[in-house]
Amino acid sequence: MHENRETSEAPEAEDRNRPAGEGKSRTVRVHVFEESDSGTVPMNHSNKSGKPPAESEEGRPLVKENTPQPSTLSTQSEARVSQGLAGVRRVARERKERKFTALLHHLTVELLRYSFYALKRKAAPGVDGVTWQEYETGLEGRLADLHSRVHRGTYRAQPPRRVYIPKPDGRQRPLGVAAREDKIVQQAVAEILNQIYEEDFLGFSYGFRPRRSQHQALDALYVAITRKKVNWILDCDIRGFFDNLSHDWLLKFVQHGVADRRILRLIQKWLKAGVMEEGEWKDTEMGTPQGSVISPLLANIYLPYVFDLWVDAWRKKCARGDVVVVRYADDNVIGFQRRKFGYKCTSTKRSQN
Neighbours of 302 (CB within 10 A): 21
Provide the pLDDT for residue 205.
Answer: 93
Provide the pLDDT for residue 251.
Answer: 95
Residue 1: which of 87, 79, 55, 58 has the closest Cα?
A: 79
Provide the pLDDT for residue 117.
Answer: 95
The phi-psi region of residue 54 (left if phi > 0; otherwise alpha if psi is between -120 and 50; otherwise beta) is alpha
Identity of the residue numbered 324: V
Residue 215: which of 63, 55, 105 has the closest Cα?
A: 55
Answer yes or no: is pLDDT of 6 > 90. Answer: no
The phi-psi region of residue 328 (left if phi > 0; otherwise alpha if psi is between -120 and 50; otherwise beta) is beta
152-185, pLDDT tens digit by residue? 999 999 999 999 988 888 888 889 999 999 999 9
Residue 83: which of 104, 60, 110 has the closest Cα?
A: 110
Q: What is the dihedral of CA 286, 298, 19, 310, to 10 degrees?
A: -40
Please report which confidence band the pLDDT of residue 145 belongs to, taking 50, 70 and 90 as the band edges: very high
Mean pLDDT (whole number) for 263-280? 93
- DSSP state letter for 119: B
The phi-psi region of residue 291 (left if phi > 0; otherwise alpha if psi is between -120 and 50; otherwise beta) is left
What pTM, to 2 d.p., does this model score?
0.74
Neighbours of 24 (CB within 10 A): 13
Quick check: helix, strand or coil at residue 3? Answer: coil
**Which range is most confident: 7-11, 99-103, 224-228, 281-285?**
99-103
Provide the pLDDT for residue 133.
Answer: 96
Please report which confidence band the pLDDT of residue 75 belongs to, taking 50, 70 and 90 as the band edges: low
Quick check: helix, strand or coil at residue 106? Answer: helix
CA dist., res. 295 & res. 178, Å (int): 11
Contact 159, 275 (CB under 8 A): yes
Give the residues across from 301 on adjacent strands.
none
Answer yes or no: is pLDDT of 196 > 50. Answer: yes
Provide the pLDDT for residue 340.
Answer: 80
118-142, pLDDT tens digit by residue? 999 999 999 999 999 999 999 999 9
212-238, pLDDT tens digit by residue? 888 999 999 999 888 888 899 999 988
Provide the pLDDT for residue 37.
Answer: 52
What Cα–Cα distance (Å) separates residue 227 from each residue in 51, 266, 324?
A: 14, 45, 11
Measure the CA angle with vertex 124, ends 193 and 126; round to 5°: 70
Provide the pLDDT for residue 39.
Answer: 40
What's the gap between Cα 31 and its chain centre? 12
Q: Comparing 75 with 121, which gets the higher pLDDT?
A: 121
